[in-house]
Structure 1
Amino acid sequence: MQRLSLATLPTLPDAVRRPAYDPRRTTTGIVHLGVGAFHRAHQAVYLDEILATDSQWAIAGASLRRPDMRDALAPQDNLYTVAFRSCEGAQLRVIGSLKTIHVAPRDPESLLAQMCDPAVRIVSLTVTEKGYCHDPATGDLNPAHPDIKADLAAPRAPTSAPGLIAEALRRRRDANIVPFTVMPCDNLPSNGATTQRIVSQYAALLDGALARFVEGDVAFAGTMVDRIVPATGDSDIAEITQALGVEDAWPVVSEPFGQWVIEDRFPTGRPDFAAVGAEMVSDVEGHERMKLRMLNGAHSTLAYLGYLAGYQTVSQTMSDPAYETLVRGLMSEEVMPTLHMPGTDLGGYREALVARFHNPALQHRTWQIAMDGSQKLPQRLLGTVRDRIAAGAPFERLALGVAAWMRYVTGTDEAGAPIDVNDPLADRLRAIGDAAGRDPERLAKAYLGIGDVFGHDLRDHPGFNRAVTAALASLLTRGAARTVADYAHATH
């Protein structure tokens, strides 16, 4: 079978949407670090729309780990398909905004040269929380991170996101090329300010003048991004290839809903994001907190508790009435009171999230959402816990979500089968679980002692300790499904 490519675009079925421009006539204006499924289903789709009227904003993608994506898409002229799935079926769209893909570990120099091109005015990121090489509890750079230590030893050939950004900015400064704007699109609190702090701290370990340049002369535009993008499976590839009539080696599956809120801080210019549905604001923090705590916090809670009960996808988990009741209560009674957003219909947002979680067409795996929990908990659940503690308000459902993470990372499910815990701290977490056994007090105390997740305040808070220990004890003795039923219908 032929591959998807510029040559085969005209052969696609009429129902398949394709680029409304010639990808060969575009120029690169954005370098994107972390060219994974989410970026290809979100930012790249917005840029595909923009390129129909403004050809200077094509994307040069960069993989910071493996060459898989480059190798899959290069024979396709970097074209790929997004399947927007809902209960009504799937709408297929071929995206042409990705012009090339670099592989940083293989050739950091070519990526840095691209980042130093004066035509590149934005460097954006979706490298996941762990890609920032930081301490999630504080938001500061972790200088002991292996990637940071490697980059500090060879700063002219970095491969981490902070190292690449700092080195490209140094080269642009020394060549009198205006700095690009850095636009993080990951789930970090105050992601613009956090990224600036991380890059500045990395630069300070090399050169104080470079750190001052990053702090004073480089714009960092915070964002809030929202779209549910499950991992692409073999069945997805087969189904999409059959619908296209040509082979697409790595398509993307997505829900139709998408949201992008962007701080308007682009001193050297930007695409007309607003013209394609993005919301330009002066401060993204409120939107960001709402999404992190309501969508991502609920998602993680559902993922751990759902996986433990044997549910493979979010929609399967939500089909259990007790889980839906729990997640509604979590958002309504424990999360929404911490959000202060006059004019925003938080109840409407909650109902939209519940409907999105129910979408059976997505097949969003609980295991996928459960990945990297040690990096996600501080943003998704623990910030809300701290606000509830400060307000003297209950937080039992939040504590249950934390306890479910602890139960999950012990590495053994309720049937005694091993769990593939995909987390930067996986070995440490498993060792803690093995040492503590099934004693909820020992287990909770040991996990709460991980300072780069919980800090010292939550570790030492008696009420939080009690709530987490009680939830963990129930999960260990009664199982996830019965525990969820208890918490869903309890009066808190």
Structure 2
Amino acid sequence: MSTTPIIQFGTSRFLQAHVDLFLSEATDPLGGIAVVQSSGNAQRAGRLNALAATGGYPVHIRGRQGGRIVDETRRVRSITRAFSSASDWAEICRIAVEEAQIILSNTSDAGFRPSPADKGAVFDQAMSYPAKLTQLLYARYQRNPRPIQVMPTELVARNGDTLRDLVMTLANARSAEFAQWIASDVTFVNSLVDRIVSEPIEPAGAVAEPYALWAIEDCKGLLLPCTHPAIKVVPSLEPVETRKLFLLNLGHSYLVDGWISRGRAGAATVRDLMDSPDILQDLQSLYRNEVVPGFAAADTREEAELYVRDVLDRFANPFLAHQLQDIAQNHREKVSRRIGAFIDWAAQKGCTAPMPRLRNTVQTMRSTG
């Protein structure tokens, strides 16, 4: 069996239609992916088998791009092996020690949250992803201490730095020498992903919009898993991250908050909401009067207005059924990170816009907590 230089934690439809698709389409991939289902959910065994099937799995790209309709299916064949951390930890560990050059992840919005099991010295399925990663790095350090790169794609600001700090805390509890090896030989890369992946295809696959971005912050010794038009190496993630988080993601959470306040009635998808003139006008007004002024204070009004235009087109994509109930998962955390954080960021930039709707959204969430 061929080696797999990339270990991927997470089997979400997002990764299937983003990173995994890019590697499948690239002419220069680093190699195959060994995907790890970190939840240990035995009911998803069918997905694991389908992800690594010889013929690959489908990704249906549907929407508008460059003024034309895109409606096509692509096959993804980059995943060559699939494992569950609950039953295959020994083999996952072996690959991390002997084969891996990059460890990727997308473990949901709450994936970095600590678990009581994290303090254990030996692997426990109940561990958080940072603790599982620390276990793999410790095995690498002990048996084959070559440099390795870690590339989280979770939607967390400075995700590489954040993950490194969590791992370093756990590593220091083991030994100063192990922590020093991580500091010198493990590269944690900050990146940001952007693609709406609206529907799963069973048992594996997804429906996604044409727009896709994987912005990767340049750093010393950066190793790209492949080259692809959607992969952009940038000197700083801050401008890209700010636009995505405070325009697209903020818009999603604002729409969902209104949907929840209306009793989750009258709509099932983002597209359904965009079909309502009142909701569309409210969102346009929110961007114009409460959000763009924050970017204007940061001297990036033009970029923000162009991105808002793209966002509204993406929200209204006639092909995508972007489920509101999916966006509503971890809603409280998302409101804090997307809307509450935007209000604070805009104030730091000197914005004096009152932002009544955004502030009310945050206040309501806090008062119902």
Aligned residue in 2 for 1:377: 335
Q: How does 1:24-39 map to 2 (within 5 A)?
A: 27-39=3-15
* Distance in 1 separating the partners of 2:250 and 2:275: 19
Specify whether residues 44 and 341 from structure 1 end up closer, same or farther in structure 2 by C-alpha distance, changes over 3 A only.
farther
Letter in 1 for 2:338: R
Conserved 8 A contact 1:191-1:223: yes
Could you tell me which residue of structure 2 aligns to residue 316 of structure 1? 272
Which consecutive segments of 4 or more residues in structure 1 shift more than 6 A? none
Which consecutive residues of structure 2, in runs of 5 or more, have no partner in the other structure? none
TM-superposed deviation, 1:42: 0.4
Find the counterpart in structure 2 of residue 277 from structure 1.
Answer: 230
Q: Distance in 2 between matches of 1:39 and 1:344?
A: 31
CA RMSD of aligned residues (A): 2.5
Q: Corresponding residue for 1:185?
A: 153
Which one has the bigger strand percentage?
A: 2
Q: Secondary structure at the match of 2:199?
A: coil
* Aligned 8 A contact 1:84 1:254 in 2: yes
Is 1:155 paired with 2:122? yes
Aligned: 1:252 with 2:252: no
User: Using the alignment, how far apart are the partners of 1:181 and 1:376 within structure 2?
Assistant: 28
Q: 1:307, 1:367 within 8 Å by CA — same for their partners in 2?
A: no
Confirm or deny: 8 A CA contact 2:29 2:226 kept in the other structure: no
Change in 2 beyond 3 A, CA 1:55/1:291: closer
Q: Quick check: 2:4–2:32 contact (8 Å CA) kept in 1?
A: yes
Q: Tell me the secondary structure at the aligned position of residue 87 of structure 2.
A: coil
* Selected match of 2:248 from 292, 295, 299: 295
**Equivalent pair of 1:185/1:224 in contact (CA under 8 Å):** yes
Q: Which residue of 2 aligns with 1:336?
A: 292
Partner of 2:56: 79
3-state secondary structure, aligned to 2:188: coil
Match of 1:45 among 21, 29, 44: 21
Amino acid in the other structure paired with 2:157: P
**1:412 maps to what in 2?**
none
Q: Is the 8 A contact 2:168 2:179 kept in 1?
A: yes
Equivalent-residue separation in structure 1 for 2:91 and 2:7 (angstroms): 12
Unaligned runs of 5+ in 1: 1-23, 134-144, 238-247, 407-443, 448-492
| 1:113-128 alignment, distance < 5 Å | 113-117=94-98, 119-128=99-108
Farther off after superposition, 58-67 or 204-213: 204-213
Letter in 1 for 2:324: T
Matched residue type, 1:350: V
Q: Does 2:76 match 1:105? A: no
Pairwise CA distance, 1:312: 1.0
| Residues 109/303 of structure 1: CA separation in 2 closer, same or farther (3 Å cut) | same
Distance 1:78 1:33 in 2: 22
Q: Deviations over 1:380-426 (max 9, x none)?
A: 1111121244434312121243356x3xxxxxxxxxxxxxxxxxxxx
Secondary structure of 1:230's partner? strand
Deviation at residue 287 of structure 1 after TM alignment: 0.8
Q: TM-score, normalised by structure 1?
A: 0.66
The answer to whether the 8 Å contact 1:261/1:278 transfers is yes
Residue range with higher mean Cα deviation, 355-364 or 300-309: 300-309
Shift of 1:230: 1.6
Structure 1 residue 93 corresponds to structure 2 residue 74: yes
Whole-angstrom CA distance in 1 between matches of 2:71 and 2:248:
23
1:136-170 CA distance string (max 9 Å, x none)? xxxxxxxxx4xx32132243445431012112212
Q: Matched residues in 2 for 1:355 and 1:263: separation?
A: 27
- 1:306 is paired with a residue of what secondary structure? helix
Q: Distance in 2 between matches of 1:205 and 1:337?
A: 46
Q: Deviations over 1:70-126 (max 9, x none)?
A: 423526337210011227463111110011111112222222222222x32111111
* CA distance in 2: counterparts of 1:72 and 1:446, whole angstroms: 37
Which of 356, 377, 398 is the aligned partner of 2:358? 398
User: 2:218 is matched with which residue: 248, 256, 264?
Assistant: 264
1:365 offset after TM fit, Å? 1.1
Aligned partner of 1:132 in structure 2 is: 112
TM-score with structure 2 setting the length = 0.87
Separation (CA, whole Å) in 2 of partners of 1:156 and 1:380: 34
Change (3 A) 1:166 1:356: same
Distance 2:320 2:218 in 1: 32
**Distance in 2, Cα, partners of 1:369 & 1:28:** 33
Report whether the alignment pairs 1:387 with 2:345: yes
C-alpha deviation, 1:320, in angstroms: 1.5
Distance 1:198 1:321 in 2: 45
SS of match in other structure, 1:265: coil
User: Across the two proteins, how many residue pairs are aligned to each other?
Assistant: 354
Note closer, same or farther for the CA distance 1:231–1:107 as it changes in structure 2 (3 Å cut): same
1:58 equivalent to 2:54? Answer no
> 1:61 Cα deviation (Å)?
0.8
Q: CA offset at residue 356 of structure 1?
A: 0.5
Contact 1:33 1:64 in 2 (8 A): yes
Determine the structure 1 residue equivalent to 2:166.
Answer: 198
- Amino acid in structure 2 at the alignment position of 1:401: T
For residues 232-251 of structure 1, the aligned pairs below 5 Å read 232=200, 237=201, 249-251=203-205
**1:403 and 1:317, CA in 2 relative to 1: closer, same or farther beyond 3 A?**
farther
User: Which amino acid in 2 is paired with 1:42?
Assistant: H
Please give the alpha-carbon distance, in whole angstroms, between the structure 2 residues aligned to 1:250 and 1:323: 34
Distance (Å, rounded) in 1 between the aligned partners of 2:294 and 2:130 = 31
Deviation track 1:24-50 (CA, whole Å, cap 9, x = no partner) reads: 8x6422111112100000011110122
**Is the aligned partner of 1:211 residue 2:179?**
yes
* Cα contact 1:260–1:278 (8 A) shared by 2: yes
Structure number with greater Rg is: 1
2:361 alignment partner AA: G
Aligned to 2:305: 347
CA distance in 2, matches of 1:307, 1:292: 21
Task: Name the CA distance, whole Å, in 1 between partners of 2:129 and 2:253.
Answer: 25
